[in-house]
Structures are given as C-alpha cells and as structure tokens.
Amino acid sequence: MVIKIILYIITFAANLSVFQGITSLFCKSDKKLNIKTFLIDICLAIMLFQIKTTFNQFIFKFPEIILMNNTVFFLLCYLLIINFADILLQTTFKSKYYFLFLLLSISLFNDIFILLQDHNHKIFILNMLLTGQNNSQLILMKSSFALSGFLIIYYLMKIIFKTASAWNERDYTAIIIITLAYTSAALICITLVVIGYIFAIRFTMLTGMLIASVIIIINVFLSNKYPEFLLILKTEVDRKSYSRSILTSMDIKLKLQELENIMKDIRPYLDEECSLQQIADDLDITPHQLSQLINEHLGINFNAYINRFRINEACVMLLDEKNRSVLSIAYAVGFNSKSSFYEAFSKNTGITPKDFRKRNS
C-alpha cells in the first residue's frame, strides 16, 4: 500500500515536471535558460517514469525503458552542472564541458549497443541489473552511472557551501534557508539513487525518487511565489563577494535620483513582468548593484520597492475611479493576482483596498 502511494506521488511529479518544462519554453526570460530548464524537467520526468516501471511487469515487455536510464541520468547531471556553473557558481567550466560530453557519449554508445541486441539479451541484462549481478557491460553502465552521481554530488556540495557562506539576517534569508534545504534534499536524493542503482536496491532508488518528486512539487510552488528565485539567490549569495565594493565608484545620489525618475516618468512597475534585470538595464548598472543600492540606501528589497509604487498608484485609482473594481485596479498597477495585491496593500497601508476606498470616499 505504501509503495502504491509513493508510485502515485512519483507519477504526479513526473507529469508535473513535463508540464513545468513545457511551460518554461513560453517564458519571456533568457531563452537559453528556458531550454536548459525544459531539458532538465523532461529528463527528471523520464527518470521518474523509468524507476516506476521497475515495480511492475511492464518493464519486461519494454526493457528499453530502463536500459536508457544511464544516458538520461548522465544528461540530467550534465545539464544541472552547466546550470549551477552559469547561474550560481559564476564559472563556465568550458574546458570541462568537453570532458563531460565525452563521458556522456560513452554512456550513450553503451546504451545504444545494448538496445541493438535482441529482446532476450535485453531481458537477460535487465534481470542481471535488477538482481545485482555483473558482467562487463553492467560494470561499464554502473561505473558511468556512479560517475554521473559523483559529479552532481560534488557540485551540490559546492552550492551548499557557497550558499551557507551567505547566511545572514538580511532580506531574503528565507531564500537562503530554502536553497540549503532544497540542495541538501537533492544531495540525499542523488546519493540514494546511485546506491540503489549500483547495488540493485530498488526501494532505495524509490526513496530517492520520492524525494525528487517532493522537490519537483515544491519547485513548482517556489517558481510561482518567487518568480525570480535564482536571480534573488544569486544576488544574496554574491553579497559577500561583492560587499560594498560594487558601489564604490558609483555616484549613489545620482543613481538614486535616476531610479526615482524612471519610476515616476516611465512607470515600469505597471508591467507585471517588471524585473530587477530590466530596471538595472535602464540605469546601466548590474542587477547586483541595483539590489545592493536599494537594500543599503533605501532599506528595503527590490520587490518591496516596486510594490510601494504600485500601491501608491492603486490608492489614487481607488479614489479617482470609484466605479472600477478592486481586481481591475490590481491588474492595472502591475499585480498578477488578487491575493498578492491585498497582501501588499495591507502591508503598505495597514488596511484593505475596500476599507481604504470607504474611509476616503
């Protein structure tokens, strides 16, 4: 019964991962990042489906499903490493890309070689894999799988140490806590999957995939609550590296005045997709500099700063356009949901939009 429930969760997470991957292709942010996100989500979904099939007879009808597991896992690790390097670790590892690609090619070649064998030979390899037996092909498969796991564990550890170094009591400490928990869970997940695969302990692999499923479900929630999660995290983690030096050569008063002029004249906050990157580009500075400028010299974070202008705009519209609905005004000033508007409005004024309209009518 417990295994059935776990399998249902894994199936749900796999479908959710596919949906999330497809959705990412239609985002207006960095296209390269969107494609990498799509591939990562699809690889995760395939891995989940592959592990699930080892618990029913379907796998013996189509052994090809699990016999491609090695290549899918290596590709997943390869994409995650590139993602971590580009987004958070601030390194490109260009020379190592070729090394990883070579290992991926070897893994793919081995899997294709097995797939080209007749059905009986595939079943023979599958039975050996599931029962923990070894031959030259399986040793190569398991070695490649273990190497993939080792590489991703290594980079997860780097993420944990770098994120932990940014621990402080400033804005977005919650982001740091979430990332540490998220990355630690991923570390446990990968370790369990590798151990389960090498030693043919299916329940260990299942536990690892259950953790992966929970991570995927939470990730969907995080992507909605913190749409700029990675950028916020990167800014927070880089704070120690940049410290105050990134603002040393900047005319702070001038930049603050330029920022204020942009907000009043262009009013970019009316766009629900208004981002740290967009405003930074308008000011001709980096997102890190803008984030630190707002945090240190205005005493609030970027989202709070943007919401302050949106709420001021909403207050004017609530009084000037009395027949207009609150929800319509919320969308007009840049919010994408009623709940986020009410939360920001109450935080800035201490009352709800309807109460504000009544009190001032």
CA 277 distance to own-chain centroid? 18
Mean pLDDT within 249-255: 81
CA-to-CA separations, 226 to 89, 138, 291, 355, in angstroms, rounded: 20, 43, 16, 28
Mean pLDDT within 128-134: 86
Give the model's confidence band at 268: pLDDT under 50 very low, under 70 low, under 90 confident, else very high.
Answer: very high
Quick one: pLDDT at residue 75?
81
Higher-confidence residue of 219 and 193: namely 193
**Tens digit of pLDDT for each residue in 168-179?**
544 445 666 777
DSSP string computed for 318-345:
HHH-TTS-HHHHHHHTT-SSHHHHHHHH
**CATH architecture of the domain with range 2-237:** Up-down Bundle (1.20)
Task: Look at residue 108 and give its three-state secondary structure.
Answer: helix
Q: Is the pLDDT of residue 351 over 60?
A: yes
pLDDT-above-70 percentage for the chain: 81
Is domain 246-359 classified as CATH 3.90.79.10?
no
Q: Please, which residues have CB within 8 angstroms of residue 249's CB and are 6 or more apart in sequence?
A: none
Q: Is the pLDDT of residue 135 over 50?
A: yes
Q: Give the separation between CA 260 and CA 202, rounded to whole angstroms.
A: 59
Q: Give the separation between CA 167 and CA 296, rounded to whole angstroms.
A: 17
Residue whose C-alpha is closest to residue 69's, from 177, 196, 157: 196
**Tens digit of pLDDT for each residue in 144-200?**
888 888 888 887 887 777 667 655 544 445 666 777 787 888 889 989 988 988 888
**Tens digit of pLDDT for each residue in 314-335?**
999 999 988 899 999 999 999 9
Q: Is the pLDDT of residue 143 over 80?
A: yes
Is the sign of the CA dihedral 120, 124, 130, 135 positive or negative? negative
Quick one: pLDDT at residue 230?
56
Residue whose C-alpha is closest to residue 48's, from 25, 65, 63: 65
Mean pLDDT within 265-285: 89
* Domain boundaries for CATH 1.20.1070 within the chain: 2-237
Q: What is the mean pLDDT of the chain?
A: 80
Quick one: pLDDT at residue 154?
82
Q: Is the pLDDT of residue 257 over 70?
A: yes
Q: Is the pLDDT of residue 88 over 70?
A: no
**Tens digit of pLDDT for each residue in 35-70?**
888 888 898 898 888 888 887 777 788 887 777 777
pLDDT-above-90 percentage for the chain: 17
Mean pLDDT within 220-225: 68
Is the sign of the CA dihedral 102, 87, 229, 330 positive or negative? negative
The number of C-alpha atoms within 13 Å of 90 and in the hemisphere containing its C-beta is: 11
Quick one: pLDDT at residue 165?
64
| Most confident region among 100-104, 239-243, 355-359 by mean pLDDT | 355-359
Quick one: pLDDT at residue 312?
93
* Domain boundaries for CATH 1.10.10.60 within the chain: 246-359
Higher-confidence residue of 106 and 11: namely 11
Q: Is the pLDDT of residue 107 over 90?
A: no
Neighbours of 16 (CB within 10 A): 19
Q: Give the separation between CA 259 and CA 268, rounded to whole angstroms.
A: 11
Quick one: pLDDT at residue 53?
83
